[in-house]
C-alpha cells in the first residue's frame, strides 16, 4: 500500500497535487468514509506558477520528486486503488489508459478542463472530470475591471509622469454610461458583468448557447458579435479554448470595433489572432489591451505583443490568489459527498466546454 494519510476505506481519494495537513484534515472531517492516499513522490508540489494558490507558508512544503520512470511506476500502483483523484498528475495519464481503473471522477483545479478533455488518452479512459468553476471568477473579474479602470483613468500615463516628477494635467475617461460586450457569459464572464454594471456600464453578454441572465442588459448568440462590437467601449473575452472559438477575434472583428475600444482577454489565448491584435493596437483601432492569456505560454520574449502600444500582459496569473486552494477543496468535499449519496456531481466538464445544467 502506498504511503497514506488514512488507510483506504469506502471511497479512496488519491492526491495528485499536494494538500497541506489542514486541508486534508478538513476533507477527513467532512467525509469520514473517504480514505486519503498521499504518496509524496507522486504529487505535484506547491511550487511554480500554481504555488500562488496556496498560503505563503505552504509554498515551502517539500514534496520529494523522482525521475519520470519512478513517478510513472508509482502511478501504476496508485491508479487501480483510486476512486477519486484530486487533480491529474501528467505521469498518471499513461496508467489511466488501463482498462481496470475505477475512477468515479477527477477533481481538476482549473476553471475549465479543455486541455484535459482534448487529450485523446483521457477521452479514451472515459473518466468524468469536474472543474474548479467558480473559484477563479472573482480574481479574474477584478483583473478585467482593474485594467479597464486603469485605462480609463490613464494610470499608464500617470505612472510615467510620476517616474519623471512631472506635474502634468491629463484628461481621463468616465466609465459610467459606457458599453461593454462580455463574450463568454459563464461564471467568469458573469462576475465581470456584475462588477461592470456596478460602475454604471451597460453590459451585453454573448453566449454560444444564450440563456436569460439578470446580470446583463441583454444576451446574444455568437452570431450577433459582429453587430455588437461597433458599439462597445470595452470588450472582455472569457471564452474557453476549442475548435469553435479558435481565432474568433481576428482582423475582421478587430476592424469592426469602436475606434479606441479596449480589449481584455481572461479566456484562452487561442481565441485571438495575435498578429491581428498587434495590428489593431498599432493602428489605434484598439486603444489598449490587457491579456492574462496568450496563445503560446510562456509568451516568447520575441513576441510583438510585448511591445504593442497600450498592452498589459499578465503571465496567466490573474486568478492565482492565496487561499484559492481552500475553495477548491470545498468543491472536492461537495463532490465527494454527492458521490457518497448518489447525487449528481457539480462542475462536470463536457467536451465542448458547455456548462452542464446540473451544477
Whether residue 193 sits in one domain with residue 98: no
pLDDT of residue 176: 97
Same domain flag for 153 and 265? yes
Q: Is 42 exposed, middle or buried (0-12, 13-18, 19+ CB in 10 A)?
A: buried
Q: Is 274 exposed, middle or buried (0-12, 13-18, 19+ CB in 10 A)?
A: buried
- In CATH, what number is assigned to the domain containing residue 107? 3.40.50.720
Which strand ranges, in their side-by-side order, compose the sheet holding 202-207?
218-221, 202-207, 179-183, 234-237, 261-265, 286-291, 311-313
Whether 355 is in a domain gets the answer: no
Q: In what order do the strands lie in the sheet with 129-130?
A: 34-37, 11-15, 84-86, 105-107, 129-130
Residue 143 in any domain: the answer is yes
The pTM for the full model equals 0.87
Residue 130 lies in a domain: yes
What's the CA gap between 55 and 246, in Å, rounded?
35
pLDDT of residue 202: 98
Cis peptide preceding 121, ω within 30 of 0 = no
What is the structure's pLDDT at 217? 98
Is residue 116 domain-shared with residue 141, that is, in the same domain? Answer: no
Q: Which helix (H) or strand (E) holds 334?
A: helix 324-341
Distance CA 113, CA 92 (A): 16
Domain hosting residue 150, numbered range: 137-313
pLDDT tens across the length of the chain (359 residues) = 344 444 345 899 999 999 999 999 999 999 999 999 999 889 999 988 888 888 888 988 877 766 678 888 899 999 999 999 999 999 898 888 776 789 999 999 987 776 777 777 888 888 999 999 999 999 999 999 999 999 999 999 999 999 999 999 999 999 999 999 999 999 999 999 999 999 999 999 999 899 999 999 999 999 999 999 999 999 999 998 888 899 999 999 999 999 999 999 999 999 999 999 999 999 999 999 999 999 999 999 999 999 999 999 999 999 998 889 999 999 999 999 999 999 999 999 875 443 433 32
The residues assigned a catalytic role are 268, 297, 316
Domain shared by 119 and 168, yes or no: no
Together in a domain, 86 and 143: no
pLDDT at position 62, please? 79
As given in the structure block, the three cell numbers for residue 62 are 517539500
Regarding whether 112 and 166 lie in a shared domain, the answer is: no
Give me the half-sphere count of Cα atoms (radius 13 Å) on the Cβ side of residue 237.
30
Tell me whether residue 42 is in a domain.
yes
In this prediction, residue 3 carries a pLDDT of 44
**Residue 182 shares a structural domain with residue 100:** no
Q: Are 337 and 309 in contact (CB under 8 A)?
A: no
Contact 140, 319 (CB under 8 A): yes
- 325/215 same-domain check: no
Amino acid at each position: 500500500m502506498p504511503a497514506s494519510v488514512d488507510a483506504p476505506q469506502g471511497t479512496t481519494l488519491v492526491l495528485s497535487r499536494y494538500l497541506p495537513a489542514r486541508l486534508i484534515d478538513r476533507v477527513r472531517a467532512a467525509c469520514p468514509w473517504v480514505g486519503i492516499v498521499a504518496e509524496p513522490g507522486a504529487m505535484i508540489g506547491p511550487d511554480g506558477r500554481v504555488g500562488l494558490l496556496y498560503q505563503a507558508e505552504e509554498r515551502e512544503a517539500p514534496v520529494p520528486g523522482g525521475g519520470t520512470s519512478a513517478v510513472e511506476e508509482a502511478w501504476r500502483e496508485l491508479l487501480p486503488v483510486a476512486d477519486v483523484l484530486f487533480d491529474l498528475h501528467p505521469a498518471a495519464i499513461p496508467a489511466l489508459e488501463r482498462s481496470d481503473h475505477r475512477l468515479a471522477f477527477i477533481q481538476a483545479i482549473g476553471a475549465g478542463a479543455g486541455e484535459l478533455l482534448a487529450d485523446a488518452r483521457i477521452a479514451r479512459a472515459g473518466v468524468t472530470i469536474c472543474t474548479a468553476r467558480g473559484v477563479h471568477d472573482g480574481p479574474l473579474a477584478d483583473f478585467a475591471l482593474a485594467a479597464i479602470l486603469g485605462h480609463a483613468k490613464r494610470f499608464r500615463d500617470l505612472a510615467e509622469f510620476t517616474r519623471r516628477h512631472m506635474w502634468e494635467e491629463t484628461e481621463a475617461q468616465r466609465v459610467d454610461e459606457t458599453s461593454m460586450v462580455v463574450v463568454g457569459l459563464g461564471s467568469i464572464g458573469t462576475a465581470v458583468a456584475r462588477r461592470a454594471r456596478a460602475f454604471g456600464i451597460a453590459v451585453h453578454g454573448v453566449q454560444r448557447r444564450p440563456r436569460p441572465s439578470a446580470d446583463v442588459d441583454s444576451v446574444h448568440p455568437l452570431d450577433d458579435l459582429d453587430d455588437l462590437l461597433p458599439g462597445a467601449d470595452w470588450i472582455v473575452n472569457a471564452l474557453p479554448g476549442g475548435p469553435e472559438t479558435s481565432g474568433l477575434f481576428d482582423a475582421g472583428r478587430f476592424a469592426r470595433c469602436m475606434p479606441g475600444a479596449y480589449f481584455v482577454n481572461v479566456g484562452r489565448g487561442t481565441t485571438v489572432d495575435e498578429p491581428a491584435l498587434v495590428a489593431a493596437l498599432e493602428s489605434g483601432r484598439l486603444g489598449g489591451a490587457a491579456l492574462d492569456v496568450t496563445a503560446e505560454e510562456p509568451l516568447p520574449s520575441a513576441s510583438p505583443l510585448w511591445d504593442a502600444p497600450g498592452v498589459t500582459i499578465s503571465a496567466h496569473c490573474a486568478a492565482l490568489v492565496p487561499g484559492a486552494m481552500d475553495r477548491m477543496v470545498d468543491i472536492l468535499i461537495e463532490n465527494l459527498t454527492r458521490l457518497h449519496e448518489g447525487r449528481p456531481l457539480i462542475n462536470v466538464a463536457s467536451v465542448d466546454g458547455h456548462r452542464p445544467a446540473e451544477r
